[in-house]
């Protein structure tokens, strides 16, 4: 039995999460396992109901389940609230409370969507790599921090345990993939990066079957655009990962295609990387693939059933190969399908 807490959130969140739930129900029918899905309010939807973006009840439910599925939060209605009541603050809080220290973002190019990439088809064809970004440390959290009239300052600091735990996850993932891990830093300039590099290399002794190399972050940004196929698994700190995972995502096409996982020692949360898309909310136009692909990541990383993750990915690929396109990935003049039509087509492939 898998216990999943779903927090659809705002804007297109409920529409894309409904797609993911339909996929979960089909998988449950196919494989005969029980899936209990408990829905809780979060973000603006929760604020309107309870006066807070993240209630104790929602947080407690997230702590008690096997995995959390999140849609998206935020929208114009809640933008003028004070900072501590904003949806972003609730997102940071849920990640912190669940101890989610690793953010995983795959960059996978689907053959059917080669033309959606901003890069030439020949450059991106076959791209399939996974970025591990450290999420709870580094310069975004280091002390001291501040600014006055004449200067501003932040501190990039990493402790050994913080580097070890994310590097361990990345080595383990590389072991299950093509066995190649690249650690990205700026060790030619930053002592904290030299420390990061040392710790990753020490840990490598436990993972001799994985090929480890290092790359400076400036070079990595260039290489992802020049030859993305060279990467298998990347591990990097919070700041570098923030930037690199966005570059890696965008070469693959649309925001509507990109899943993510945030993983901690005891909890995990799966969500599309896109926001609540208020411009298309409530119109049955959103692409549900990013959220459905997040469910594939859930089966891979939380439930450790990679075969089911593969099944979901293959259903997505087959649906794209059949020509189904939501508006965000349709070529000019091409007919677009709705969120529910895309979902139904993927579910049909799963059932076949
Ligand atoms: P966005 O990702 O919501 O939208 C950017 C553009 O991409 C829009 O044109 C939108 O229509 C399109 N788009 C996004 N997802 C799509 C999908 N699944 N299918 C088709 N098109 C899609 O980013 P934004 O407009 O900068 O932010 C809108 C709101 O979402 C803001 O309130 C922001 O704070 C919030 N946000 C939330 C999260 C999150 O919940 N993790 C992340 C980013 C932004």
What's the rounded mean pLDDT across residues 267-282?
96
Give the binding-site residues of ligand 1, using a 6 Å CB cut-off.
12, 16, 72-75, 87, 91, 255-256, 274-280, 286-287, 290, 328
**DSSP-derived secondary structure letter, 223:** H
What's the rounded mean pLDDT across residues 273-283?
96
Mutation choice for ligand 1 from 19, 255, 324, CB with most ligand atoms inside 8 A = 255
Mutation choice for ligand 1 from 54, 271, 276, 288, CB with most ligand atoms inside 8 A = 276
What is the per-residue pLDDT across 282-320, written as a single tens digit (0 to 9) for each?
A: 999 999 999 999 999 999 999 999 999 999 999 999 999
Residue-by-residue DSSP string for 3-58? EEEEEEESTTHHHHHHHHHHHHHHHHHHH---EEEEE---THHHHHHHSSSS-HHH
Helices assigned H by DSSP within 65-113: 87-97
**What backbone phi and psi angles, to 5 degrees, belong to 135?**
-115, -15
Position 23 confidence tier, pLDDT thresholds 50, 70, 90: very high
Domain boundaries, the chain: 1-101+264-352, 106-129+137-253
CATH architecture of 1-101+264-352: 3-Layer(aba) Sandwich (3.40)
Beta-sheet pairing, 268-272 with 152-153: unpaired
Work out the angle at residue 37's Cα, subtended by the Cα atoms of residues 35 and 39, and round it to the nearest 5 degrees: 175
Q: How far is the CA of 58 from the centre of ligand 1 (A)?
A: 23
CA-to-CA separations, 171 to 115, 200, 207, 237, 302, in angstroms, rounded: 32, 9, 7, 15, 17
Residues annotated as catalytic (active site), given as ranges: 140, 186, 218, 242, 246
Superfamily name and number for 106-129+137-253: Isopropylmalate Dehydrogenase (3.40.718.10)
pLDDT reported for residue 88? 86
pLDDT reported for residue 254? 78
pLDDT reported for residue 289? 97
What is the per-residue pLDDT across 145-201, written as a single tens digit (0 to 9) for each?
A: 999 999 999 999 999 999 999 999 999 999 999 999 999 999 999 999 999 999 999
The Cα–Cα gap between 38 and 141 comes to: 32
The Cα–Cα gap between 272 and 289 comes to: 9
- Residue 295 near residue 70, CB atoms below 8 Å: no
pLDDT reported for residue 331? 85
- Residue 310 near residue 288, CB atoms below 8 Å: no
- Report the share of the chain in percent with pLDDT over 90: 88
What is the per-residue pLDDT across 171-180, written as a single tens digit (0 to 9) for each?
A: 999 999 999 9
One fold for 1-101+264-352 and 106-129+137-253:
yes
Query: What stretch of H or E contains 263?
Result: strand 259-264
- Give the count of beta carbons closer than 10 Å to the beta carbon of residue 115: 11
Q: How far is the CA of 276 from the centre of ligand 1 (A)?
A: 5
Position 92 confidence tier, pLDDT thresholds 50, 70, 90: confident
Up-side HSE of residue 252: CA atoms within 13 Å toward CB?
24
Spatial CB neighbours of 78, under 8 Å, sequence gap ≥ 6:
10, 43, 44, 47, 53, 85, 86, 87
What's the rounded mean pLDDT across residues 74-82?
94
- Of 30-39, 79-88, 212-221, the one with minimum mean pLDDT is 79-88
CA-to-CA separations, 347 to 88, 128, 202, 292, 341, in angstroms, rounded: 32, 24, 45, 10, 10
- In this predicted structure, the answer to whether residue 40 has a pLDDT above a threshold of 80 is yes
Q: How far is the CA of 118 from the centre of ligand 1 (A)?
A: 19
- Residue 338 near residue 285, CB atoms below 8 Å: yes
Beta-sheet pairing, 146-147 with 128-134: unpaired
CA 277 to ligand 1: nearest atom: 3
What is the per-residue pLDDT across 128-149, written as a single tens digit (0 to 9) for each?
A: 999 999 999 999 989 999 999 9
What's the rounded mean pLDDT across residues 1-7?
96
- Residue 164 near residue 203, CB atoms below 8 Å: yes
CA-to-CA separations, 236 to 166, 184, 244, 287, in angstroms, rounded: 9, 5, 9, 29
End-to-end CA distance of the chain: 23
- Report the share of the chain in percent with pLDDT over 70: 100
Averaged confidence pLDDT in the chain = 95
What's the rounded mean pLDDT across residues 240-268?
91
Mutation choice for ligand 1 from 71, 113, 271, 275, CB with most ligand atoms inside 8 A = 275
- In this predicted structure, the answer to whether residue 352 has a pLDDT above a threshold of 70 is no
pLDDT reported for residue 117? 84
The Cα–Cα gap between 178 and 303 comes to: 21
Q: How far is the CA of 205 from the centre of ligand 1 (A)?
A: 42
- In this predicted structure, the answer to whether residue 228 has a pLDDT above a threshold of 80 is yes
Query: Pick from 77, 85, 73: which is nearest to 10 by CA?
Result: 73
């Amino acid at each position: 039995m898998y216990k999943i807490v779903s927090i659809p959130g705002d804007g297109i969140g409920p529409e894309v999460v409904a797609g993911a739930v339909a996929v979960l129900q089909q998988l449950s029918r196919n494989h005969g396992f029980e899936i209990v899905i408990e829905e809780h309010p979060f973000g603006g939807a929760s604020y309107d109901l309870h006066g807070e973006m993240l209630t104790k009840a929602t947080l407690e439910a997230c702590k008690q389940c096997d995995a959390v599925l999140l849609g998206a939060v935020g929208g114009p209605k809640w933008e003028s609230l004070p900072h501590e009541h904003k949806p972003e603050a609730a997102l940071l809080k849920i990640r912190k409370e669940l101890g989610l220290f690793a953010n995983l973002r795959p960059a996978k190019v689907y053959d059917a969507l080669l033309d959606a990439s901003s890069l030439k088809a020949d450059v991106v064809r076959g791209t399939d790599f996974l970025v591990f970004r450290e999420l709870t440390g580094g310069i975004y959290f280091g002390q001291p921090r501040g600014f006055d009239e004449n200067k501003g300052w932040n501190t990039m600091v990493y402790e050994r345990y913080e580097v070890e735990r994310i590097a361990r996850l990345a080595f383990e993932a590389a072991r299950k993939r093509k066995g190649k891990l690249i650690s990205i830093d700026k060790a030619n300039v930053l002592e904290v990066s030299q420390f990061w590099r040392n710790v990753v290399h020490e840990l490598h002794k436990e993972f001799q079957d994985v090929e480890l190399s290092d790359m400076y972050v400036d070079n990595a940004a260039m290489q992802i655009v020049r030859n993305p196929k060279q990467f298998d698994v990347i591990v990097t700190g919070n700041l570098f990962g923030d930037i690199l995972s966005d570059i890696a995502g965008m070469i693959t096409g649309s925001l509507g295609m990109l899943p993510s996982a945030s993983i901690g020692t005891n909890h995990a949360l799966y969500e599309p990387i896109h926001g609540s898309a208020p411009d298309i909310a409530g119109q049955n136009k959103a692409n549900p693939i990013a959220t459905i692909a997040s469910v594939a990541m859930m089966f891979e990383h939380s439930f450790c059933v990679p075969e089911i993750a593969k099944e979901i990915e293959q259903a997505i690929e087959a649906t794209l190969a059949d020509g189904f396109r939501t508006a965000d990935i349709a070529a000019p003049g091409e007919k677009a399908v709705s969120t529910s039509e895309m979902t139904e087509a993927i579910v049909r492939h799963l059932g076949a």
